[in-house]
């Protein structure tokens, strides 16, 4: 699998481009703030055509560029419990943070909902751009936080690590940490259940593309992530 990752211009949100190979259709995951120019360069370099945009949840730093990336012809996929957030994610942000972003980028923050939104459910199987993904609902960071699991790994990973599958974790799981639960729609108890019932059952051979920060593996996090200790599988 061709996998290209790059950070957004604000909040360090990871945007991913996934495809079966160069010259094919692709998936764009979590197009955050200020990603359009970099994304355009990635698509041109690898001769890729977006088939869908996947959103791990509805926070502004993960969805801000979804509408221009979709361009009126490409659908955005999001778990049904976070679908409402696409009506206006700016409304749920602290006004001071919005003002800071406007000052940083020198323009007023605006929002327009994508024309085509597909709301997905837990354990739904998606066949998109030649890739098969399973939706794993993992609430806690938001009500509709979801991870996307694939039975393949990015090209170029060391063979001796034995990795054979990938999960795009959004803000559910980070390297050494987890997503915060103190924002609107967050729920600490729900996050604990998601970590226990959705994250921990994943095989150690799972490569994790996180919403912020470096990639990791389930095996590494099971052994060292303090937020997973004591939860059991």
Tell me which residue has tokens 């099971």: 222
Q: How many angstroms separate the most distant Cα atoms in the chain?
A: 49
- The three-class DSSP label of residue 63 is helix
Residue 104 pLDDT: 63
Q: Are 144 and 79 in contact (CB under 8 A)?
A: yes
pLDDT digits (tens, 9 = 90+) for 41-55: 999 999 999 999 999
pLDDT tens digit sequence for 170-180:
999 999 999 99
C-alpha 18/C-alpha 191 separation (Å) is 27
Query: pLDDT digits over 87-134, tens only?
Result: 987 777 667 766 666 666 666 666 679 999 999 999 999 999 999 999
- 3-state SS, residue 164: coil
Q: Which of 7, 9, 26, 216 is nearest to 128 (CA)?
A: 26
The answer, as to whether pTM is greater than 0.85, is yes
Alpha-carbon span 200 to 218, nearest angstrom:
8
Task: Give 199's DSSP letter.
Answer: I
């Amino acid at each position: 699998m061709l996998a290209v990752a790059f950070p957004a211009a604000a909040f360090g949100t990871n945007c991913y481009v996934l495809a079966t190979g160069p010259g094919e259709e692709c998936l764009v995951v979590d197009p955050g703030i200020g990603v359009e120019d970099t994304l355009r360069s990635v698509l041109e370099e690898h001769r890729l055509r977006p088939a869908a945009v996947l959103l791990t949840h509805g926070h502004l730093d993960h969805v801000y560029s979804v509408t221009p990336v979709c361009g009126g012809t490409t659908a955005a996929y999001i778990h049904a419990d976070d679908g409402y957030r696409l009506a206006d994610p700016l409304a749920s942000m602290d006004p001071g943070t919005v003002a800071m972003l406007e000052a940083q980028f020198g323009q007023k923050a605006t929002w327009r909902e994508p024309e085509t939104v597909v709301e997905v459910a837990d354990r739904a199987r998606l066949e998109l751009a030649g890739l098969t993904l399973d939706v794993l609902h993992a609430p806690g960071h938001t009500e509709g936080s979801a991870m996307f699991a694939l039975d393949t790994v990015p090209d170029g990973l060391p063979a001796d690590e034995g990795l054979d599958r990938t999960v795009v974790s959004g803000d559910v799981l980070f390297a050494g940490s987890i997503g915060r639960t103190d924002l609107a729609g967050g729920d600490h108890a729900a996050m604990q259940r998601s970590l226990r019932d959705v994250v921990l059952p994943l095989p150690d051979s799972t490569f994790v593309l996180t919403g912020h920060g470096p990639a990791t593996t389930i095996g590494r996090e099971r052994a060292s992530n303090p937020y997973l200790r004591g939860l059991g599988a």
